[in-house]
Structure 1
């Protein structure tokens, strides 16, 4: 099997994906900015580099057949984060082409229009596809997992507030997907024959955010919060409100809130062999709480 390059190995998704790849017998090289501070399995090769600064990419991609691009900027004023992601995507795609990489696997969101950050993630996919080797664009709905900022926000709202005054996004439908299903699909794509250009991932249930909160509360053994929707609470005011009652950093809250206003539903199921039996919402929440 050809060598695999994993970027974002120290992040939440990459940190869960790396052991799966190693357990499958894959030869994995991890690109990190500071190898001394990277606590990664001994079986993984670790090399130093920086995608945003275009440092060490040629050496990291040498001999690589499949590369995972799990790099995102979630903070920054104005368009700084988008410009950083744009530069990084161009640099990585060009280096992957020079190295003869056969497949790049990229994780983004199901919806890419309402949120500035989601638009940026979708733009990254377009850059990788235009400038780089064959791209497999994995697009996931809200991820249910202990390290997911969306899940943490939902949990803190349910635990702390008996009454919520919420904007209209409370009744937006989504198809929340378990972290295990996301990681399992990403791992399978390393050797999946002739994968589609786009893989849409969702869980077994389609729920509104109101329904998610009610079911979350029941799993916790708590009374579901009283939800009072109002059309007058703007995304910005909603972000301030969530920032006050949860420990999520405000720099993360605003893009999360912006992304809740549009439906995240799987319109085109993945081919057989990829996420065939996704977990339901309740099971995904229980797994996340146990973790």
Structure 2
């Protein structure tokens, strides 16, 4: 089937496009600069923040993946909602049968951060014009080039010890990039997935502190001392992260705001639609490091 992938040059998109091609799909990679695109698939011009560009990009498309967000912008909530609403309307006008969106975990009754609240809003905006939306909600995706993973990797690589705030005790359910792509592929044109929302995650429920420690054992061959302090604001945390890693302050702050929310898989219905056991955290860390080494 003809499939459009937004965010085709991003962390998840650049792995998804070749996987779709391997499964025999006609893949259009949407990018603002198609002349500079050197990845697989057919490059098409389009920008989710420019509604006038979407009709041509979606022409003849049967299903679309929506893999874009604006964490590096202080006004990302408004911009992401407007973009999702425009994309959903353009998809409906083009006769698209399914939109697949990668969102974020987090219980509805929690006081969600701006980041997670925006992910929920985008889910609704994409479907307002009537196209069935399949939502996959994930926590940290572990893979080479992912922002959350890069923060983890660079912290444990660059620091002999670290001081972390209370949110480091919050539990998360990380998932390997390989499994995210597997689930994204599996729900495409699946009658049991259209219009539904699924939690996706690996088998391990870990605190951020545990993830740092386990990653350190793989990367450095040893654990590192981690001290938890009661007060360290998101602003201070994000500045500290931008100093130690190459993640910018705005992106770091928007991510850190979410780290006080427990993000765990509550429903395993995805296993009925896309069978198979997901990879554990340590194996995902090893695979991410191997990919980075191979690309260096």
Q: Which residue of 2 aligns with 1:261?
A: 260
Shift of residue 275 of structure 1? 5.6
**Mean Cα displacement is larger for which, 280-289 or 117-126?**
117-126
1:251 Cα offset (Å): 2.0
Q: Is 1:281 paired with 2:281?
A: yes
RMSD: 1.6
Q: Is the contact made by 2:170 and 2:260 (CA closer than 8 Å) also made in structure 1?
A: yes
Corresponding residue number in structure 2 for 1:168: 166
Offset at residue 273 of structure 1 (A): 4.1
The answer as to 2:96 corresponding to 1:101 is yes
Change (3 A) 1:39 1:275: farther
Does the residue aligned with 1:64 lie in a helix, a strand or coil? Answer: coil
1:75 to 64, 72, 81: 72
**Within 5 A, what are the aligned runs for 1:1-291?**
2-41=1-40, 44-77=41-74, 80-111=75-106, 113-195=111-193, 197-269=196-268, 270-274=270-274, 276-291=276-291
8 Å contact kept, 1:184–1:275: no
CA distance in 2, matches of 1:160, 1:60: 42
1:173 to partner: Cα distance: 0.7
Q: Secondary structure at the match of 1:259?
A: coil
Aligned-pair CA distance for 1:163: 2.2
What's the TM-score once normalised by structure 2's chain length? 0.92
Looking at structure 1, the residues matched to 131 and 276 of structure 2 have their Cα atoms a distance apart, in angstroms, of 27
Q: Distance in 2 between matches of 1:162 and 1:56?
A: 48
After the TM superposition, which of the residue ranges 281-290 and 6-15 deviates more from structure 2? 6-15
Q: CA 1:186 to 1:138, structure 2 compared with 1: closer, same or farther past 3 Å?
A: same
In the alignment, the residues of structure 2 paired with residue 96 and residue 287 of structure 1 have an alpha-carbon distance, to the nearest angstrom, of: 35
Q: Partners of 2:126 and 2:242 in 1: how far apart?
A: 33
Q: How many residues align?
A: 286
Moved over 3 A (4+): none
Question: What is the CA distance between 1:32 and its match in structure 2?
Answer: 1.4
Shift of 1:285: 0.1
Instruction: Give the secondary-structure state (helix, strand or coil) at the position aligned to 1:138.
Output: strand
Structure 1 residues 34 and 288, CA, compared in 2 at 3 Å: closer, same or farther? same
